[in-house]
C-alpha cells in the first residue's frame, strides 16, 4: 500500500515526495476544501517555492493535485491566501464563472557581492475553473509593491462586509500591516499593528484575523494570529494570538500578555479556511507540523513535513481572560475502527503503573481518558514501541504543569543539540482532567480539557507506537473513561 515509509503519517496530510512548509490558500468551494502549500517539488529541503495543491471533500481524505503556481521572473511563490470573488469585484469573471483570487508573495532573491537582498512584493493569480488551474494576473507583476521593508509577506485576504472592502493582512517584520481594496487589485494602506512588545520576538509571519463569537453569545471578537519565527515558548517557530477588535481599518488588542495557539513545538503558520458557508460557521485551520529550528533535518527520506490534523477553533471568556481553544474536527471520527475500552484503573500504591496494550496497537490511534482524582506527585502516560522508545505525557503536581517529553522517543530528538527539551503548559490542579491524544507514526497531538490547551509535537520512533502504559507516582490517581480508537489510514 501507498505511504508506508518509515515515519509516514497515516492520517495527516503529507506530500507524495519532497519538501513542504506552510499551508497556503485555504478555501472551500463547491463541496471541496482546497489546501495549497509551500512546496519544493525538486528536493526534500526548502528551495524554489511553488504552491503545491490538494483537495478534499471531507477534510480527512486528500487528493493530490498538480502544483498550482511556479516561480517566475518576479520570484518564488511564497505564502498567501485565496478568496472567492462572489460579486466579481475584480471584473475577472467570465461567462458567469465566479473568479477565484489567489494572493501570494513574489519573493526575489538577489546577491550583492556576498550579501543577500530580498525583494518581497504581493502578486495575484486567478482561476476561472473552480480553483483547478491558475493564471497569473498581469503576468505575475505585483499588485502591491513593497514600501521598503525587508520582510513584507504572506498576504491573508478576506471580505469585510460592513465596509464592502477586501482586507489584506501582511507580515512586516515586527508588525502586521493592514491594507484594503474595493476590487482586490488596487490596494490602499490602512494601519499597522505592533502589539505589546513584551519579550524577545522573532520575525512575524503568516497572519490571520478571525471574527469569532465569544462562547455561545452573540458577542464577537477578532482574533489575530501571528506566527513568529524564533522565540516560541520552547524555542523556534510558534504561533501567537491577540484578542481584540477590528473596525475595518485598524486592529486593537485588549491584552497585555502573550498567548500561544499551541504549547508544543510543531504547529506553525496555521491560518483559516476562507469561504466556509455562513450556515456552517466553523472556523477551521490547519498548521505546518514542524519547526524551523530543525525542519530541514528531520529524518524522513522521500518527503519532508506533514500538516497537523484540521482543527476547529473556538473562543471562550473565563475569569476576564479570553482563551482560544482547538478541537480536532468531527469528521476525523470517520477514521475510527471499533473502540477498545480499557477498564477503569486506580494506580499508585501498591501498583504504580499498568500497561494497557502489548504491542498490539497499529501506531495510528486516538486515546482519551479522564483522571477523576489524584494526590500523586506525577501521573501520566507512556506511549511506547517494541524497541522501548517512549513518548511521555505527564502531569507534575508540584510544578502544576502538563508536560510532553519526546527525548526518549527515538534518536532524532534525543541527539544533543536536537531540541529534546520537554514542552509544558501551566495547569493548576483541577479534577476531573480530560486528556485526548491523536497519535500517528511521527506525531502526538494532545488536547487538554476539551481543547483548553493544545500541544502538538513530532517525534521519530524507530517503529510506530504499539503500547500504552499509565502511571501514578508518589500518590494515587484514578484513570477512567479510557477509550482507544485505532484509526484507519487516509490514503
Ligand atoms: C513561514 C514562511 C513565510 C514565507 C514562507 C516561505 O514559514 O517563512 O513567511 O512566505 O515560509 O516558504
State whether the beta carbon of 49 lies less than 6 angstroms from ligand 1.
yes
Which domains, from first to last, does the chain contain? 18-330 (2.115.10.20), 336-486 (2.60.120.560)
Instruction: Let me know: does 268 contact 286? Beta carbons within 8 Å.
Output: no
d(CA 450, CA 325): 8
- Average pLDDT of 5-19? 97
Three-state DSSP class for residue 335:
helix
Instruction: Let me know: does 407 contact 389? Beta carbons within 8 Å.
Output: no
d(CA 60, CA 52): 17
Q: Ligand 1: distance of its center to the CA of 269 in Å?
A: 8
Question: What's the chain's average pLDDT?
Answer: 96
- Strand pairing of 423-426 and 135-136? unpaired
Question: What is the torsion angle, in degrees rounded to the nearest 10, for the CA atoms of residue 465, residue 470, residue 471 and residue 476?
Answer: 170
d(CA 464, CA 461): 6
State whether the beta carbon of 266 lies less than 6 angstroms from ligand 1.
no
Set of cell numbers at residue 182: 474595493
* 389 flagged as catalytic: no
* Edge-to-edge strands, sheet with 311-318: 268-272, 284-288, 311-318, 321-328
Nearest CA to ligand 1 atom 7: 22
Let me know if 75 is exposed, middle or buried by CB neighbors in 10 A (0-12, 13-18, 19+). buried
- Average pLDDT of 195-218? 94
What pLDDT score was predicted for residue 214?
Answer: 97
Q: Which among 66, 69, 25 is positioned nearest to 48, based on CA atoms? A: 69
Cα-based distances in Å from 144 to 19, 24, 188, 359, 439: 28, 18, 9, 56, 42
What pLDDT score was predicted for residue 55?
Answer: 98
- 218-230, pLDDT tens digit by residue? 999 999 999 999 9
- 460-488, pLDDT tens digit by residue? 999 999 999 999 999 999 999 999 999 99
E runs forming strands in 30-134: 32-40, 50-56, 63-69, 76-84, 100-112, 115-127
SS3 percent helix, strand, coil of the chain, rounded to 5, is 5, 50, 45
Q: Is the pTM for the entire model greater than 0.95?
A: yes
Q: Provide the b/e sequence for 302-323 (b: ≥16 CB within 10 Å).
A: ebbbbbbbbbbbbbeeeeeebb
Q: Provide the b/e sequence for 420-454 (b: ≥16 CB within 10 Å).
A: eebbbbebeeeeebbbbbbbbbbbbbbbbbebbbb
What pLDDT score was predicted for residue 416?
Answer: 62
State whether the beta carbon of 238 lies less than 6 angstroms from ligand 1.
no
State whether the beta carbon of 206 lies less than 6 angstroms from ligand 1.
yes
- 241-263, pLDDT tens digit by residue? 999 999 999 999 999 899 999 99
Q: Ligand 1: distance of its center to the CA of 51 in Å?
A: 12
Ligand 1 atom at shortest distance from the alpha carbon of 154: 10
What pLDDT score was predicted for residue 485?
Answer: 98
What pLDDT score was predicted for residue 116?
Answer: 75
Query: In which band, very low, low, confident or very high, does the pLDDT at 437 lie, cut at 50, 70 and 90?
Result: very high
Question: What is the torsion angle, in degrees rounded to the nearest 10, for the CA atoms of residue 450, residue 452, residue 458 and residue 462?
Answer: -40
Contacts for 335 with CB less than 8 Å, ≥ 6 apart: 11, 60, 487, 488, 490
Q: Ligand 1: distance of its center to the CA of 341 in Å?
A: 43
What pLDDT score was predicted for residue 126?
Answer: 98
ipTM: 0.98
Query: In which band, very low, low, confident or very high, does the pLDDT at 123 lie, cut at 50, 70 and 90?
Result: very high
Ligand 1 mutation target, pool 15, 19, 20, 22, most atoms within 8 A of CB: 22
State whether the beta carbon of 105 lies less than 6 angstroms from ligand 1.
yes
State whether the beta carbon of 293 lies less than 6 angstroms from ligand 1.
no
State whether the beta carbon of 456 lies less than 6 angstroms from ligand 1.
no
Q: Ligand 1: distance of its center to the CA of 127 in Å?
A: 23
d(CA 16, CA 13): 9
State whether the beta carbon of 53 lies less than 6 angstroms from ligand 1.
no
Q: Ligand 1: distance of its center to the CA of 412 in Å?
A: 24
Between 419 and 328, the higher pLDDT residue: 328
- Average pLDDT of 163-188? 98
State whether the beta carbon of 50 lies less than 6 angstroms from ligand 1.
no
Residue 115 has pLDDT above 90, yes or no: no
Residue 422 has pLDDT above 70, yes or no: yes
Q: Which among 434, 425, 429, 430 is positioned nearest to 453, based on CA atoms? A: 425
Set of cell numbers at residue 80: 498567501
Q: Ligand 1: distance of its center to the CA of 164 in Å?
A: 29
Ligand 1 atom at shortest distance from the alpha carbon of 151: 9
Q: Give the position of cell 490547551.
A: 453
Cα-based distances in Å from 339 to 362, 367, 444: 13, 10, 19
Q: Which among 159, 254, 238 is positioned nearest to 201, based on CA atoms? A: 238
Q: Ligand 1: distance of its center to the CA of 56 in Å?
A: 24
- Average pLDDT of 153-181? 98
State whether the beta carbon of 153 lies less than 6 angstroms from ligand 1.
yes
Nearest CA to ligand 1 atom 9: 205
State whether the beta carbon of 154 lies less than 6 angstroms from ligand 1.
yes
Q: Which among 189, 138, 134 is positioned nearest to 165, based on CA atoms? A: 189
Element (H, E) at 260: strand 259-260
d(CA 409, CA 457): 11
Ligand 1 mutation target, pool 15, 43, 153, most atoms within 8 A of CB: 153
Catalytic position from the list 22, 151, 154, 208: 22
Residue 121 has pLDDT above 80, yes or no: yes
Query: Hey, how many other C-beta atoms are within 10 angstroms of the C-beta on 150?
Result: 13
What pLDDT score was predicted for residue 358?
Answer: 86
Ligand 1 atom at shortest distance from the alpha carbon of 78: 10
State whether the beta carbon of 21 lies less than 6 angstroms from ligand 1.
yes
Query: In which band, very low, low, confident or very high, does the pLDDT at 302 lie, cut at 50, 70 and 90?
Result: very high
Let me know if 243 is exposed, middle or buried by CB neighbors in 10 A (0-12, 13-18, 19+). buried
DSSP 143-211: SB---S-S--EEEEEEEETTTTEEEEEEE-BSSEEEEEESSSSS-EEEEEE-----S---EEEEEEEEE
What pLDDT score was predicted for residue 1?
Answer: 61
d(CA 288, CA 460): 17
Percent of the chain with pLDDT over 70: 99
Q: Ligand 1: distance of its center to the CA of 351 in Å?
A: 49
Q: Give the position of cell 525587508.
A: 150
Query: Hey, how many other C-beta atoms are within 10 angstroms of the C-beta on 391?
Result: 25
- 142 has which bridge partners? none
Residue 439 has pLDDT above 80, yes or no: yes
What pLDDT score was predicted for residue 220?
Answer: 97
Amino acid at each position: 500500500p501507498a505511504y508506508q515509509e518509515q515515519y509516514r503519517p497515516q492520517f495527516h496530510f503529507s506530500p507524495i515526495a519532497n519538501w513542504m512548509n506552510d499551508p497556503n490558500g485555504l478555501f472551500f468551494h463547491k463541496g471541496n476544501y482546497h489546501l495549497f502549500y509551500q512546496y519544493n517539488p525538486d528536493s526534500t529541503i526548502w528551495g524554489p517555492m511553488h504552491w503545491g495543491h490538494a483537495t478534499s471533500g471531507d477534510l480527512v481524505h486528500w487528493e493530490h493535485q498538480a502544483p498550482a503556481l511556479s516561480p517566475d521572473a518576479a520570484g518564488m511563490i511564497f505564502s498567501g491566501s485565496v478568496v472567492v470573488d462572489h460579486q466579481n469585484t475584480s471584473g475577472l469573471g467570465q461567462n458567469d464563472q465566479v473568479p477565484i483570487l489567489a494572493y501570494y508573495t513574489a519573493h526575489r532573491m538577489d546577491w550583492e557581492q556576498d550579501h543577500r537582498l530580498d525583494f518581497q512584493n504581493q502578486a495575484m493569480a486567478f482561476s476561472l475553473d473552480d480553483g483547478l488551474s491558475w493564471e497569473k494576473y498581469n503576468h505575475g507583476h505585483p499588485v502591491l509593491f513593497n514600501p521598503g521593508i525587508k520582510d513584507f509577506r504572506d498576504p491573508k485576504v478576506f471580505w469585510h462586509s460592513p465596509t464592502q472592502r477586501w482586507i489584506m493582512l501582511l507580515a512586516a517584520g515586527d508588525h502586521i500591516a493592514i491594507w484594503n481594496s474595493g476590487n482586490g487589485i488596487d490596494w490602499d494602506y490602512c494601519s499597522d499593528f505592533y502589539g505589546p512588545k513584551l519579550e524577545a520576538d522573532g520575525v512575524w509571519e503568516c497572519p490571520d484575523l478571525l471574527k469569532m463569537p465569544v462562547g455561545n453569545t452573540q458577542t464577537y471578537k477578532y482574533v489575530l494570529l501571528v506566527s513568529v519565527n524564533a522565540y516560541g515558548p520552547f524555542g523556534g517557530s510558534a504561533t501567537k494570538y491577540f484578542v481584540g477588535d477590528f473596525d475595518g481599518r485598524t486592529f486593537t488588542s485588549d491584552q497585555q500578555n502573550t498567548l500561544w495557539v499551541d504549547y508544543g513545538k510543531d504547529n506553525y503558520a496555521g491560518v483559516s479556511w476562507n469561504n466556509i458557508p455562513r450556515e456552517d460557521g466553523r472556523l477551521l485551520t490547519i498548521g505546518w507540523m514542524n519547526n524551523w529550528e530543525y525542519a530541514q533535518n528531520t529524518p524522513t527520506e522521500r518527503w519532508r513535513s506533514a500538516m497537523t490534523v484540521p482543527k476547529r477553533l473556538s473562543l471562550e471568556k473565563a475569569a476576564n481572560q479570553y482563551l482560544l481553544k482547538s478541537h480536532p474536527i468531527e469528521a476525523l471520527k470517520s477514521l475510527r475502527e471499533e473502540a477498545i475500552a480499557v477498564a477503569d484503573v486506580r494506580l499508585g500504591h501498591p501498583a504504580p503503573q499498568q500497561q494497557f496494550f502489548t504491542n498490539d496497537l497499529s501506531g495510528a490511534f486516538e486515546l482519551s481518558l479522564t483522571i477523576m482524582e489524584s494526590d500523586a506527585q506525577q501521573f501520566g502516560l507512556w506511549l511506547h514501541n517494541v524497541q522501548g522508545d517512549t513518548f511521555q505525557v505527564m502531569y507534575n503536581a508540584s510544578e502544576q504543569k502538563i508536560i510532553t517529553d519526546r527525548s526518549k522517543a527515538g534518536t532524532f530528538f534525543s541527539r544533543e543539540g536536537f531540541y529534546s527539551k520537554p514542552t509544558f503548559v501551566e495547569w493548576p490542579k483541577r479534577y476531573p482532567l480530560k486528556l485526548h491524544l491523536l497519535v500517528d507514526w511521527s506525531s502526538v497531538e494532545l488536547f487538554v480539557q476539551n481543547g483548553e490547551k493544545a500541544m502538538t509535537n513530532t517525534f521519530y520512533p524507530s517503529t510506530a507506537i504499539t503500547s500504552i502504559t499509565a502511571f501514578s507516582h508518589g500518590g494515587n490517581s484514578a484513570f477512567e473513561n479510557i477509550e482507544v480508537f485505532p484509526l484507519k489510514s487516509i490514503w
